[in-house]
């Protein structure tokens, strides 16, 4: 058989295992392999021609393999400690892995983590080979006859059934895995949660154990430190402490914005309107409740109904909009359009509602009611490339204001429940790829994750502590214009169908605010800060009147300033301003009143600076106008 590896191709007599091939090609420390595009364990034998690649610790797939194997190690340790435990699913996930376990009448808690970890370490040191076997359905059912969860899964499997064993433990699994348990050295059990079997609330609730694993102690410690930092930045915690928003059981998934939070929200909206106005957008506001017939035409009623809130009005079905697109289309159809009118860039901060299970709701990140910073662009085929390039540049401009870097994923046609023909999808996917290449933006393919009406570019933002957030999207749609019979008159006086681009940059204002709260840890840039200045009289009996006049002058200058002339000591009031993350704290005493100066301190900085009032106001105006991420250095 002929095996190609990197730039080498050799002819050998097979079959050969991955271990033998690694030795043959002198590849050091392989974990698994990829043969003709398929990931395989090293124990698997190769007996056909093909292209070979090895997976080592540096490979993008390595962590998932490690964590999948670590989930089996966790299950083996649990079985040793709790022999009657029954196991459900145990997959690798984005930052670790979990296992859903039925402990019967036994209740476990965080206090049990150390002994489970100790048993995992002992089993890892045993360095049990992790061995794959293929079984018939009858053999698998016999092996797992005492585990109803595995039996249910086995009865649904139509492909080859495989199991993996390590020492005295065996699990139903498709793979792939590390060569042995000895590779699993650096892990940490993190938390417990309840999880219904297969996510169905009609099924029994199992115990889900969350954990993570890395190839080095340094990487594990870095990850755990990041998680601790993330706890401090939790937007729900900071939202309470900084009086930004509240949640209430009478409106699950629908946040209440308090005064300070509304200031941030309004600043985000004002910036959005300003930058879009300069880019030639027009703005609309469309109804929240629309007739079923519209949603049937758009395809939402048949492809998205389980996420929609519906109601009846005078015996007709209506839906609260989960998306703004159909309303935008109705606005487009309100008049006749010539090719000279296009492109039309139509923006809307549209309130939408989508059903989310109560257990999935999470602060501002996962809600049922949110405002999308939507825009829909209607253009001709000849304008498509330039409009996409313009959008890519707009995304760049906006994200850079917040100091957020990003990566782009191109999500392609879903395997099912999509509308339109495949040829149109292929053209749309290629147009998005070409636009990225035209502006030098790299992208990663995300097969099958497109919207039901078209492919999309998804923006994955990186925050200040390295976390990744899904935010903006650009969706290319040649299907909805066809379904709604949208037209424009071209230069030959013929009716043509426009191309429709859906796009959101914040994604949702609520979620974007949550990301910003955590990204800045509540210490917002001055232009976003709900309280930009707090004025503190040194002695509330002597300096309060002068402090009051100074505060009024700052407010008159357009700054968000407040006065704290309470009877508490100055140190206490200063500390309280720091706890509320006020950007500039101003102290007013005898010298400041006599010289019309300001003594200020920047949040997080102990140094105090005294400057003329006019200079202080000019400094803040410049910082706000430039939307600086950090204050200028003290002089």
Structure confidence by residue, pLDDT tens digits, 178-231: 999 999 999 999 999 999 999 888 999 999 999 999 999 999 999 999 888 888
On the question of pLDDT at 88 being above 90, the answer is yes
CATH superfamily of 2-55: Beta-grasp domain (3.10.20.30)
Q: For the chain, give every residue range classified as CATH 3.10.20.30.
A: 2-55
pLDDT band at 1 (very low <50, low <70, confident <90, very high): confident
| Alpha carbon distance 409, 458 (integer Å) | 5
Phi/psi for 56 (5° steps) reads -115, -170
| End-to-end CA gap in the chain | 73
Domain with CATH 3.40.50.800 in the chain: 533-625
Angle at 559 between CA 557 and CA 561, to 5 degrees: 120
The answer to whether the CB of 370 falls within 8 A of the CB of 508 is: yes
To the nearest whole number, what is the mean pLDDT of the chain?
Answer: 93
Please state which CATH number belongs to domain 62-227: 3.30.980.10
Asked whether residue 359 carries a pLDDT value surpassing 90, the answer given is no
Sign of the Cα pseudo-torsion (26, 30, 36, 41, in order)? positive
CB distance 17 to 44 below 8 Å? yes
pLDDT at 396: 94
The class level of CATH for 245-519 reads alpha beta
For 422-440, how does the pLDDT look when each residue is reduced to its tens digit (9 = 90+)?
888 888 899 999 999 999 9
Q: Quick one: pLDDT at residue 418?
A: 83
Residue span(s) of the chain under CATH 3.30.980.10 come to: 62-227
Check if the beta carbon of residue 398 is closer than 8 Å to that of residue 505: yes
pLDDT at residue 479, rounded to an integer: 81
Q: Which residues are catalytic?
A: 325, 354, 372, 374, 376, 456, 502
CA distances from 88 to 103, 150, 152, 172 (A): 11, 7, 10, 10
pLDDT given at position 576: 95
Looking only at the bridges linking them, the beta strands covering 468-477 and 609-612 are unpaired
How confident is the model at residue 76, as a pLDDT? 98
Strand partners, 346: 282, 376
How many other C-beta atoms lie within 10 A of the C-beta of residue 109? 7
For 373-400, the pLDDT digits (tens) are: 999 999 998 999 999 999 999 999 999 9
Q: What is the pLDDT of residue 267?
A: 97
Band of residue 452 on the pLDDT scale cut at 50, 70, 90: confident
Question: Candidates 3.30.70.120, 3.40.50.800, 3.60.70.12, 3.40.50.720; correct CATH number of 533-625?
Answer: 3.40.50.800
What's residue 449's pLDDT?
85
CB-CB contact of 186 with 217 (8 Å): yes
Cβ 309 vs Cβ 320: under 8 Å: yes
Pull the structure tokens for residue 402. Answer: 């917040």
- Is a pLDDT exceeding 80 seen at residue 323? yes
Whole-number Å distance between alpha carbons of 239 and 227: 18
Which residue in 284, 473, 476, 469 sits closest to 377, CA to CA? 476
Answer yes or no: are the C-beta atoms of 254 and 371 closer than 8 Å: no
């Amino acid at each position: 058989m002929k095996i190609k590896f990197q730039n080498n191709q050799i002819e050998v007599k097979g079959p050969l295992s991955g271990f033998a091939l690694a030795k043959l090609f002198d590849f050091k420390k392989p974990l698994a392999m990829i043969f003709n595009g398929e990931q395989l364990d090293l124990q698997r034998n190769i007996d056909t021609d093909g292209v070979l690649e090895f997976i080592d610790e540096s490979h993008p797939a390595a962590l998932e393999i490690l964590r999948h194997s670590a989930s089996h190690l966790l299950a083996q340790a649990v079985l040793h400690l709790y022999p009657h435990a029954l196991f459900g699913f145990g997959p690798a996930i984005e930052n670790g892995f979990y296992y859903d376990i039925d402990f019967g009448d036994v209740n476990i808690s965080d206090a049990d983590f150390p002994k489970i970890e100790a048993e995992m370490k002992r089993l890892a040191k045993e360095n049990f080979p992790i061995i794959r076997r293929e079984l018939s359905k009858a053999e698998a059912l016999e092996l797992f006859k005492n585990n109803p969860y595995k039996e249910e899964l086995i009865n649904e499997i139509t492909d080859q059934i495989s199991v993996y064993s390590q020492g005295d433990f065996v699990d139903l699994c498709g793979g792939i895995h590390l060569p042995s348990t000895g590779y699993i050295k650096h892990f940490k059990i993190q938390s417990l949660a309840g999880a219904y079997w297969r996510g169905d609330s009609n099924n029994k609730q199992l115990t889900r154990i969350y954990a993570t694993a890395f190839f080095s102690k340094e990487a594990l410690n870095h990850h755990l430190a990041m998680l601790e930092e993330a706890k401090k930045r939790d937007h729900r915690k900071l939202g309470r402490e900084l009086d930004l928003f509240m949640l209430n059981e009478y409106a699950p998934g629908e946040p209440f914005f308090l005064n300070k939070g509304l200031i941030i929200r309004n600043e985000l909206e004002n910036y959005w309107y300003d930058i879009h106005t300069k880019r030639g957008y027009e703005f609309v506001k469309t109804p929240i409740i629309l007739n079923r017939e519209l949603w049937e035409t758009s395809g939402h009623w048949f492809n998205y109904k389980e996420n929609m809130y519906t109601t009846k009005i005078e015996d007709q079905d209506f839906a609260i909009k989960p998306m703004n697109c159909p309303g935008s289309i109705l606005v487009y159809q309100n008049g006749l359009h010539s090719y000279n009118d296009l492109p039309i860039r139509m923006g809307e901060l549209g309130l939408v509602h989508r059903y989310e299970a109560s257990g999935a709701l999470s602060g501002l990140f996962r809600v049922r009611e949110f405002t999308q910073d939507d825009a829909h662009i209607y253009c001709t085929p000849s304008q498509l490339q330039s409009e996409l390039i313009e959008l890519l540049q707009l995304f760049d401009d906006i994200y850079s204001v917040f100091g957020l870097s990003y990566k782009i994923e191109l999500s392609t046609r879903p395997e099912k429940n999509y509308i339109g023909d495949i040829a149109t999808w292929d053209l749309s996917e290629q147009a998005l790829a070409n636009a990225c290449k035209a502006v030098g933006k790299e992208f990663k393919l995300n097969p099958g994750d497109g919207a039901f009406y078209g492919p999309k570019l998804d923006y994955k933002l990186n925050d200040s502590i390295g976390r990744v957030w899904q935010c903006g999207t650009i969706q290319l749609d040649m299907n909805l214009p066809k379904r709604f019979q949208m037209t424009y008159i071209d230069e030959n006086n013929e009716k043509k169908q426009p191309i429709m681009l859906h796009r959101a940059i914040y994604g949702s204002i609520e979620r974007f605010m949550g990301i910003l709260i955590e990204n800045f840890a509540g210490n917002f840039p001055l232009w976003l800060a709900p309280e930009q200045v707090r004025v503190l009289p040194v002695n509330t009996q002597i300096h309060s009147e002068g402090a009051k006049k100074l505060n009024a002058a700052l407010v008159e200058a357009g700054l968000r300033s407040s006065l704290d002339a309470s009877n508490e000591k100055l140190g206490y009031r200063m500390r309280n301003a720091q706890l509320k993350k006020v950007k500039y704290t101003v102290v007013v005493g005898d010298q400041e009143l006599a010289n019309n100066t300001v003594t200020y301190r920047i949040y997080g900085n102990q140094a105090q600076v005294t400057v003329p009032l006019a200079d202080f106001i000019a400094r803040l105006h410049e910082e706000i106008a430039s939307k600086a991420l950090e204050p200028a250095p003290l002089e």
